[in-house]
């Protein structure tokens, strides 16, 4: 993970930076928003990846190797290369803390600095934040479907390269997973790795019972046996119970059994019945095998008896929604608000440097809406607050008993890292607490209710003014 990511950028970032320099614009201040548009699956996301994003920004350094490579392309002059050699981001960054619930069009990060510096950050920040936010969001959905049962991240072998495996595991834990099988991720992010044995362990012995006994002898206090190598109910489960009885006679309690295939609804119900009748009601049933939130939801409806889910491929790849679609758009340049116009209304951006407030009902303490406004806008939150739909302005909601919380926090100031770092377990707690602030209607897997994210009147009017003038103020 220790590598120079300075050239982790799209080539056009460099050509634009050179253009800014050649046109005398390099030192003009710009504000960029990193946000996502309407998701394909969930109406919300879990902000994630900020720590790695800040580490990337503060460690940008064009060394001799990078400068020589760019010189060899024959595209850039020495004045540009010289400027790169002394590059250091000196601007400000505000962001949503990791684990925060975020909705479409709300900036996850706001970058303010010289356009020369801020432009370079686009591709790498999107790479870092898009992926981890995507996986944290998928994990939150899977964990919600599990309804309080533990979820373990098992995606290492199906992740798309080592970085995706490591940072995907990090994001999955922040999103709600209780642990990961990935040992490197566990070491880097201070969690305990989880796992038992594979089918190959059992198949390496002459018989299943011998394999179970050997494993129990090695790990008597952590004996979790995989029982579906040959025949779950006729072989694996009876042999596991034999070993569990032997452990019990020695004073140990077995952890449980794991199933990785077959009709998990039927098999887990039978396994639970047999374990209980054999005197092991505390033995847990772990399952794995191409699981996701939809499969887990189905297993719950069928009455499956499952204590812990191991979720791999469909979590680490966000199988049903493989990209977040986050974007990095300029919102202000040289003190003037900017707006991108499109025939597709969803792609019209919100101008200016912004703030986000989360609005809570005073009685229930539940979130009822978010308000995007201009950063320096003065809003009287002691008076009744009228929220207005960002496009259908006739839709209004007036609140009298409410309180608000600003969401964006300073994480870099004048190029200095001031991010308050948290452990992944602390970030997981923040994520869980944040999700509990929203009614279940907003979090259901199928056709969730759309949460209100409104524009202040001042921001809305500015947007309409810019639209009427073709995007220019």
Question: What are the tens digits of pLDDT across the range 432-452?
Answer: 999 999 999 999 999 999 999
Half-sphere exposure of 296 (CA within 13 A, CB side): 30
Q: Is the separation of the CB atoms in 8 and 128 below 8 Å?
A: no
Give burial (CB, 10 Å; 0-12/13-18/19+) of 425: middle
What one-character DSSP code corresponds to residue 468? H
Q: Is the pLDDT of residue 419 over 60?
A: yes
What confidence score (pLDDT) does residue 471 get? 72
Report the distance separating Cα 148 and Cα 142, nearest Å. Answer: 11
- DSSP reduced 3-state for 53: helix
What confidence score (pLDDT) does residue 2 get? 58
Position 325 confidence tier, pLDDT thresholds 50, 70, 90: confident
Position 104 confidence tier, pLDDT thresholds 50, 70, 90: very high
What one-character DSSP code corresponds to residue 364? T
Here the tokens at position 187 are: 């070491």
Q: Is the pLDDT of residue 167 over 90?
A: yes
Q: Is the pLDDT of residue 192 over 60?
A: yes
Q: Is the pLDDT of residue 122 over 80?
A: yes
pTM score, two decimals?
A: 0.96
Q: How far is CA 5 from the centre of its chain?
A: 21
Model pLDDT for residues 370-407, shown as the tens digit of each residue: 999 999 999 999 999 999 988 888 999 999 999 999 99
Q: Is the dihedral of CA 341, 344, 345, 346 positive or negative?
A: negative
Give burial (CB, 10 Å; 0-12/13-18/19+) of 382: exposed
Using a pLDDT cut of 90, give the percent of the chain over it. Answer: 93
- With a CB cutoff of 8 Å and minimum separation 6, the contacts of 208 are 202, 229, 230, 235, 236, 239
Q: Is the pLDDT of residue 238 over 70?
A: yes
What confidence score (pLDDT) does residue 175 get? 98
Report the distance separating Cα 203 and Cα 205, nearest Å. Answer: 5
Q: Is the pLDDT of residue 39 over 70?
A: no
DSSP string, 194-261: -----HHHHHTSSSHHHHHHHHHHH-TTS-EEE--SS-IIIIIHHHHHHHHHHHHHTT----EEEE-S
């Amino acid at each position: 993970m220790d590598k120079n990511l300075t050239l982790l950028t799209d080539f056009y970032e460099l050509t634009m930076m050179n253009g800014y320099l050649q046109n005398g614009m390099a030192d003009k201040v710009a504000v960029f928003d990193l946000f996502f548009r309407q998701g394909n699956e969930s109406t919300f996301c879990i902000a994630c990846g900020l720590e790695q994003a800040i580490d990337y920004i503060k460690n940008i350094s064009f060394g001799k190797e990078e400068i020589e490579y760019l010189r060899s392309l024959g595209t850039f002059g020495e004045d540009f290369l010289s400027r790169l050699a002394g590059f250091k981001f000196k601007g400000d960054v505000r962001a949503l803390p990791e684990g925060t619930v975020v909705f479409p069009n709300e900036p996850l990060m706001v970058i303010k600095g010289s356009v020369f510096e801020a432009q370079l950050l686009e591709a790498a920040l999107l790479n870092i934040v898009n992926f981890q936010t995507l996986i944290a969001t998928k994990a939150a959905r899977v964990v919600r479907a599990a309804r309080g049962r533990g979820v373990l991240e098992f995606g290492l072998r199906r992740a798309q390269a080592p970085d995706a495996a490591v940072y995907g595991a990090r994001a999955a834990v922040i999103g709600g997973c209780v642990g990961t099988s990935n040992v490197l991720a566990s070491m880097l992010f201070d969690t305990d790795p989880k796992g038992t044995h594979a089918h190959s362990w059992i198949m390496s012995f002459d018989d299943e019972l011998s394999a179970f006994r050997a494993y129990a002898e090695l790990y008597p206090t952590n004996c979790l046996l995989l029982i579906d190598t040959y025949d779950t109910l006729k072989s694996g489960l009876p042999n596991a119970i034999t070993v569990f009885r032997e452990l019990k006679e020695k004073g140990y309690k077995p952890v449980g059994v794991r199933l990785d295939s077959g009709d998990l609804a039927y098999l887990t119900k039978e396994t639970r019945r047999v374990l209980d009748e054999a005197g092991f009601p505390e033995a847990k049933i772990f399952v794995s095998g191409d699981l996701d939130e939809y499969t887990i939801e189905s297993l719950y409806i069928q009455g499956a008896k499952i204590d812990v889910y191991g979720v791999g491929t469909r979590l680490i790849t966000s199988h049903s929604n493989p990209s977040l679609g986050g974007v990095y758009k300029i919102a202000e340049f040289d003190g003037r608000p900017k707006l991108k116009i499109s025939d597709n209304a969803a792609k019209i951006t919100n101008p200016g440097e912004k703030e986000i407030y989360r609005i809570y009902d005073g009685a229930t303490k539940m979130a009822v809406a978010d308000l995007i406004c201009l950063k320096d806008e003065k809003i009287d939150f002691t008076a009744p607050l009228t929220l207005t739909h960002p496009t259908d302005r006739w839709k209004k909601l007036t609140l009298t008993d409410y309180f608000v919380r600003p969401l964006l926090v300073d994480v870099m100031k004048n190029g200095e890292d001031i991010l308050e770092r948290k452990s992944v377990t602390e970030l997981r707690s923040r994520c869980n607490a944040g999700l509990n602030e929203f009614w279940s209607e907003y979090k259901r897997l199928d056709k969730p209710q759309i949460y209100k994210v409104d524009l202040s009147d001042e921001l809305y009017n500015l947007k309409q003014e810019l639209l009427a003038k073709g995007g220019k103020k």
